[in-house]
Amino acid sequence: MEIIFILFILLYSIILHEISHGYVAYRLGDPTAKYEGRLTLNPISHIDPIGTILLPILTLYTAGFVLGWAKPVPYNPYNLKNPQRDSIYIALAGPLTNILLVLIFTFLYKIFPSNIFLFGLRINLVLAFFNLLPIPPLDGSKILLTKIPLEIYRYLEIYGFIFIIIFVFFLFSYFSNFINLIQNFLLNF
């Protein structure tokens, strides 16, 4: 029964992350996500066949961890009043939503200590900070785009998935230690 709650938390942490991108874009003048039916809690609207089904199963059984993604929520920068600034807000919306969920799960864990709430805290820390990495197509790369020349960003974009794989296989233990530090701080605060 615990696995059902864990999968539910994982699924909706990712969905809320994606919806927040579309909602902020909508509030900033771009209705693309709304018109495409992506401002919904219905998981079917957010499933990417490769990133949500195939890759997580493949990485779980071959590498022992889960790597995947939901279908990215689209936005059209031409509908934004200030595309450069607003793109940063849209990119930050997902990780900030995960940080809000971290605070909620931390609060719940302190009141009702449970592995389920601890998982909710940890997975949202991972989602927030992993997505802030400045590697395309992660959210942090959209922030980086406003700070570096477009040619360099396009180079990063071409090799982004390779950089993510390198990060996961060679640097994830450092990232995990960083997540542990934050988790321990929150639980002992």
157 is catalytic: no
The catalytic position among 18, 36, 151, 157 is 18
This model's pTM is above 0.85: yes
Rounded-to-integer distance, Cα 142 and Cα 112, Å? 37
Rounded-to-integer distance, Cα 88 and Cα 82, Å? 10
137: its two tokens = 């197509």
pLDDT bin (cut points 50, 70, 90) of residue 150 is: confident
State whether residue 28 is helix, strand or coil. coil
* Residue 95 pLDDT greater than 90, yes or no: yes
Rounded-to-integer distance, Cα 1 and Cα 7, Å? 10
Q: What is the DSSP code (8-state) at residue 102?
A: H
Rounded-to-integer distance, Cα 105 and Cα 112, Å? 10
Neighbours of 115 (CB within 10 A): 11
Read off the pLDDT of each residue in 93-108 and give the average, rounded to a whole number. 98
